Amino acid sequence: MPGDGTGKPAGEREYGFPAPLWRALARHRPPGAGAATRGWRSPVRGPWLTAVHGALLLVALPLVFLTGLLDHLAYGPRFGQAFPPDVGWLRLPQVDWPTRPSWLFRVTQGLHVTLGIMLVPVVLAKLWSVIPKLFDWPPARSVAQVLERLSLLLLVGGILFEIATGLLNIQYAYLFGFDFYTAHYFGAWVFIAALVAHVSLKLPRMLSALRSRRPADEARTGTAATRPEPPDPDGLVAPEPGPATVSRRGAVALVGGGALLLGALTVGQSLDGPLRRTALLLPRGQDPGSGPNGFPVNRTAAAAGISDADTGAGWRLTLRGGGREVTVDRAALHAMAQHTARLPIACVEGWSTRQTWTGVRLRDLAALVGVPDPASAHVRSLERAGLFNQAVLQANQVLDGDSLLALRVNGADLSVDHGYPARVIVPALPGVHCTKWVAAIDFRTDG
């Protein structure tokens, strides 16, 4: 052990822990750990492949995070109707969600879900590329290394948790005993905090690893000519590499191809027409029937407990505002000025569709009860139970000229499953707030 003048043994200088303890740990590597490290023999594993996947994730994951936050904002946290309703100091700025462009929510939620799904193979490949680090021995060498490993636990645990909860939610598999939205929201913050820590530690290494090999060379190198990278300080490169079974270009193509395939099997849910049938990974809305009402239904009238008697001739709409109350039937609504708009419905769970809606402008209904300039509108459905039997709309959402209480779609009466006798449809409003089977609207001046 060479001396350095401090009089301390090398182990202690290097690792910060008492040397005897460290040396004992290092000697007593558990039987599995050594075998596992030696078992990772692929010659393509190394800093370059890790950096390529890291760079992809560094660009794409913040986009998934941001579109997720936008989806949260679109739900109207101001009215306590975002999930979870109370996020403490993680509260986002209280801004009005715009009504233009009308496809805004369709794009933010579509990107969030589609990109999130496409990144699954990239995340798995990134984890594969660093798996020897999991078996680092001794497991704790210095305080800095322990902190880094803890942040990795949050990083890896966080992304796997977000993927799992996200995928289960869009498959409508509410298997967990906790609220999806709450878990997914807080999980996202844990993950992004760990990502910031990770990136600030690893960015220089990622950049130098990317520069260490020329992409043009990799593109020319087949499996037979694939050689391991030189040994690296992180121990990613196999100490005893086996023969290559795939080239670096092959590995990147496999992951990229997997991402594109997943994307291709997902985007269909955001398209109308025959292409919707390509959304093989999504459970709903591939076969929504035909005719004017032939588009996806999230919750049928039967599932919502809506009976024929509820929606029949006895149906009345109650409008309230400024201490006044007006009750109208469907004939009275038909007698008012009708407006037609082509607008999307976009569900946060992934699918969207664009249809041509006709009905009465919400602002005309507000004017009818003498509140032409409401601060908000509280919409209630006939539906008695269920999370989505009511919604609050912002002032700009009530006043937009295309915001409707729709009576018809694509030239026909709404079907009962689509909300007959009347449903809300507002540009860029999340589908969840396009309340069906509307029973009452309360136009408020005080928020």
Ligand X SMILES: Nc1nc2c(c(=O)[nH]1)N[C@H]1C(S)=C(S)[C@@H](COP(=O)(O)O)O[C@H]1N2
Given 29, 149, 299, 354, the residue binding ligand X (CB under 6 A): 299
The 288-327 site mask, x for binding Mo ion (CB under 5 A), equals ----------------------------------------
Give the nearer residue to ligand X in terms of CB position, either 71 or 218. 71
Phi, psi dihedrals of residue 187, rounded to the nearest 5°:
-60, -40
Q: Express the helix, strand and coil content of the chain in percent, nearest 5 each.
A: 50, 15, 40
Are 344 and 102 in contact, with CB atoms under 8 Å apart? yes
Residue in 155, 181, 185 with CA at minimum distance from that of residue 170:
181
Give the nearer residue to ligand X in terms of CB position, either 189 or 388. 388
431 binds Mo ion (CB under 5 A): yes
436 binds, among ligand X, Mo ion, none (CB under 5 to 8 A by kind): ligand X
435 binds ligand X (CB under 6 A): yes
432 binds Mo ion (CB under 5 A): yes
381 binds, among ligand X, Mo ion, none (CB under 5 to 8 A by kind): ligand X
In the complex, the smallest distance separating the C-beta of residue 202 from Mo ion, rounded to whole angstroms, is 38
54 binds Mo ion (CB under 5 A): no
Given 251, 345, 371, 398, the residue binding ligand X (CB under 6 A): 345
Are 248 and 49 in contact, with CB atoms under 8 Å apart? yes
The 391-430 site mask, x for binding ligand X (CB under 6 A), equals ---------------------------xx-----------
347 binds Mo ion (CB under 5 A): yes
SS3 213: coil
Phi, psi dihedrals of residue 13, rounded to the nearest 5°:
-60, -45
Task: Give the binding-site size for ligand X (rule: CB under 6 A).
Answer: 20
Q: What b/e sequence results for 19-53 when a residue is b if at least 16 CB atoms lie within 10 Å of its CB, and e otherwise? A: beebbebeeeeeeeeeeebeebebbbbbbbbbbbb
In the complex, the smallest distance separating the C-beta of residue 106 from ligand X, rounded to whole angstroms, is 11
Beta-carbon contacts of 23 under 8 Å, excluding residues fewer than 6 positions away, are 11
Residue 27 has, within 13 A of its CA and on its CB side, a CA count of: 7
Residue in 299, 428, 264, 443 with CA at minimum distance from that of residue 354:
428
432 binds ligand X (CB under 6 A): yes
Distance, CA of 293 to CA of 408 (rounded, Å): 9
Instruction: Please report, as residue ranges, which positions from 374 to 393 form the binding site for ligand X (by CB under 6 A).
Output: 381, 383, 386, 388-389
Strand partners, 354: 344
249 binds ligand X (CB under 6 A): no
298 binds ligand X (CB under 6 A): yes
Residues of this chain that interact with Mo ion (CB under 5 A) are: 347, 431-432
Residues of this chain that interact with ligand X (CB under 6 A) are: 296-299, 304, 345, 347, 381, 383, 386, 388-389, 418-419, 431-432, 434-437
